[in-house]
Amino acid sequence: MKSEITKVLVVITVFYAIRFFVLWTQNVNNNLSIKVLDVGQGDAILINSGNSGSMLIDGGDNWDVDWYLSKQFVFPRCNINALVVTHPHADHLYGINRILKRCKPNLVTFNDVYYSSKLSEVFLENIQHLSSDKKITNFNFAHLKSGDTFYFGKVKFIVLWPDETFLKNATYLNNINDISTVLLLDAGKFEALFTGDLSGEIFSKIDKELYKKHIDGDLEILKVPHHGSADGRNIDFYRSLSPRYCVISVGLDNRYRHPDKRQVEDLEQVGCKVVRTDISGTIEFNISGVL
């Protein structure tokens, strides 16, 4: 009996040693990695900036992100340094509540706009708990608005939307998608744009100067807004970005019939290669030499 237990322990030790080595070799680098996770009909984008840690934009409509993160570490644990909630719809927020409970992020950003839903209530309770827990000393939250900038490792983020005036009137907003936090990632000559579920017409309100001065030539990655819905169409805006890869985070055979054919055609018309999570699963970009 004793030798059987020893055998099991040896097998477990070897398993973790191999896993540790594989994960260690994956993590020790100066590369930037962007993963648009396959979470079905929703958004969850994981960004790793060299050895600076992980940032998550939105958490999907299920616990898939939690499951994905658990697989990233030698022992099941969670290590997210920064969390961005673009807006409080369930397909972006549901998984965040799970991550907040299990992980200890240093920074959470979200919009300071009332939205009536049980999920939103739980989210705000979690934020309140993390802020008031004296054992947690390095927790911060922030409300972002256009023009704000912050660094994650060596990567700079520029907030393109929402702007302050729009937020002031957001109490009367018909569509909460329109306060989606829009972030431009700038790492040297590499840029990526994350758009939440913003409506196409709102892109025309964004100050062009804010993004034009940061984008060197083409925009390398565009996270297409609102899962490729027709309401995210704005071909003039997309043409002004000249995006190379357009990523649509969308569920297979979803009931909304996203992505809309016309949106895909618009993106192709401006020369963008469209990639979709419902077809390709998690879409990963590894960018070397920009950090």
Please tell me the count of residues contacting Zn ion according to CB under 5 A: 2
**Minimum separation from the CB atom of position 224 to Zn ion (A):** 11
Task: Give CA 47 to chain center in angstroms.
Answer: 7
Cβ proximity to Zn ion: between 197 and 231 the closer is 197
Kindly state whether residue 66 participates in binding Zn ion, applying the rule CB under 5 A: no
Kindly state whether residue 278 participates in binding Zn ion, applying the rule CB under 5 A: no
Candidate ranges 44-52, 69-77, 168-176, 192-200; the one touching Zn ion (CB under 5 A): 192-200
* Spatial separation of the C-alpha atoms in residues 185 and 166, rounded to whole Å: 22
Cβ proximity to Zn ion: between 91 and 266 the closer is 91
Candidate ranges 84-92, 114-122, 210-218, 244-252; the one touching Zn ion (CB under 5 A): 84-92
Kindly state whether residue 260 participates in binding Zn ion, applying the rule CB under 5 A: no
* Token pair belonging to 166: 């729009």
* Spatial separation of the C-alpha atoms in residues 280 and 112, rounded to whole Å: 35
Do the beta carbons of residue 225 and residue 200 sit within 8 Å?
Answer: yes
Sole binder of Zn ion in the list 91, 186, 220, 266 (CB under 5 A): 91
**Minimum separation from the CB atom of position 196 to Zn ion (A):** 7
Cβ proximity to Zn ion: between 66 and 91 the closer is 91
Kindly state whether residue 197 participates in binding Zn ion, applying the rule CB under 5 A: yes
Cβ proximity to Zn ion: between 191 and 197 the closer is 197
Cβ proximity to Zn ion: between 91 and 178 the closer is 91
Kindly state whether residue 58 participates in binding Zn ion, applying the rule CB under 5 A: no
Binding to Zn ion by CB under 5 A, coded x per residue (else -) over 114-153, reads ----------------------------------------
Cβ–Cβ contacts within 10 Å for residue 173, how many? 15
Strands 149-152 and 283-287: unpaired
**Minimum separation from the CB atom of position 17 to Zn ion (A):** 41
Strands 190-194 and 82-84: unpaired
**Minimum separation from the CB atom of position 98 to Zn ion (A):** 17
Kindly state whether residue 191 participates in binding Zn ion, applying the rule CB under 5 A: no
Candidate ranges 5-13, 155-163, 197-205, 275-283; the one touching Zn ion (CB under 5 A): 197-205
**Minimum separation from the CB atom of position 59 to Zn ion (A):** 11
**Minimum separation from the CB atom of position 178 to Zn ion (A):** 12
**Minimum separation from the CB atom of position 195 to Zn ion (A):** 11
Q: Which of 36, 52, 5, 33 is nearest to 150 (CA)?
A: 52
In degrees rounded to 5, what are phi and psi of residue 245?
Answer: -120, 130
Helices (H), 71-185: 90-102, 118-132, 164-168
Q: Which residues pair with 276 in a beta bridge?
A: 248
137, burial (CB in 10 Å: exposed 0-12, middle 13-18, buried 19+): exposed
Kindly state whether residue 178 participates in binding Zn ion, applying the rule CB under 5 A: no
Cβ proximity to Zn ion: between 197 and 220 the closer is 197
Strands (DSSP E) found in the chain: 32-36, 45-49, 54-57, 82-84, 107-109, 140-142, 149-152, 155-161, 182-187, 190-194, 219-223, 243-248, 273-276, 283-287
Contacts with Zn ion, residue ranges (CB under 5 A): 91, 197
